[in-house]
């Protein structure tokens, strides 16, 4: 019986993700994208819903398809800085986000939470925001296990439009 050697060779073909260039070239002026997107009305921002004190938007760099963010309009770093109205509306929006995602995408579960501070993994450490990530059994496929990239099966503009319609 001969011993065969099967060395793992990583696939080095590029994964095409042209929307990532906006992140790479993103605002270098220190401008907070939550503050910018919360203040304007632009479909390309993927804002799903605007409330009185907080808003919901589709994450442009999602962990999974349908990954939503809930943020206050005010630029605050911690939950303790939120006033009672902001806290209440954010919690209500997190719950509504789950309901809308359930209706549109039928996930089997959710990750819901806040990463507060850079050490906790907050991508935007100075503007508090919550995450609602729909999950499906087996949604972590071979791509992130082998090479790090995630596969998002639908264009962000299409997902945002579906979620906006369902929110109504």
Ordered by where they begin, the domains of the chain are 30-167 (3.30.428.10)
Kindly report the pTM of this predicted structure: 0.74
Positions annotated as catalytic residues are: 129
Looking up tokens 């609602």 gives: 132
Backbone angles phi, psi at 119, to 5 degrees: -65, -25
Q: What are the strands of the beta sheet with 68-72, ordered from one edge?
A: 47-50, 54-58, 68-72, 130-135, 109-114
Per the annotation, does 131 bind a ligand? yes
Per the annotation, does 121 bind a ligand? yes
Mean pLDDT in order along the chain per 10 residues (168 residues): 54 58 60 90 92 95 88 96 98 98 95 89 88 86 49 73 87
What pLDDT score was predicted for residue 14?
Answer: 57
| Sign, CA torsion 35/156/122/92 | positive
Per the annotation, does 53 bind a ligand? no
- Asked if residues 71 and 129 have their Cβ atoms less than 8 Å apart, the reply is yes
What pLDDT score was predicted for residue 18?
Answer: 63
- What is the distance between the alpha carbons of residues 67 and 109, in angstroms, rounded to a whole number? 12
Per the annotation, does 152 bind a ligand? no
* Cα→Cα distances 60→2, 10, 52, 78, 126, Å: 51, 27, 23, 22, 18
């Amino acid at each position: 019986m001969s011993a065969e050697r099967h060395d793992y060779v990583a696939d080095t073909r590029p994964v095409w993700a042209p929307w990532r260039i906006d992140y790479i070239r993103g605002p270098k002026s220190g401008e907070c994208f939550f503050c910018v997107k919360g203040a304007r009305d632009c479909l390309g921002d993927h804002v799903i819903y605007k409330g009185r004190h907080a808003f919901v938007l589709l994450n442009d760099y999602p962990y999974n398809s349908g990954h939503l963010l809930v943020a206050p309009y005010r630029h605050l770093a911690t939950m303790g800085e939120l006033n009672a109205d902001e806290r209440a509306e954010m919690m209500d929006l997190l719950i509504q986000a789950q309901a809308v995602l359930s209706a549109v995408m039928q996930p089997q579960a959710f990750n819901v939470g806040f990463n507060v501070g850079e050490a906790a993994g907050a991508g935007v450490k100075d503007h508090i925001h919550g995450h609602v990530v729909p999950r499906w059994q087996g949604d972590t496929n071979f791509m992130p296990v082998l090479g790090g990239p995630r596969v998002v099966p639908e264009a962000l503009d299409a997902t945002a439009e579906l979620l906006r319609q369902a929110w109504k």
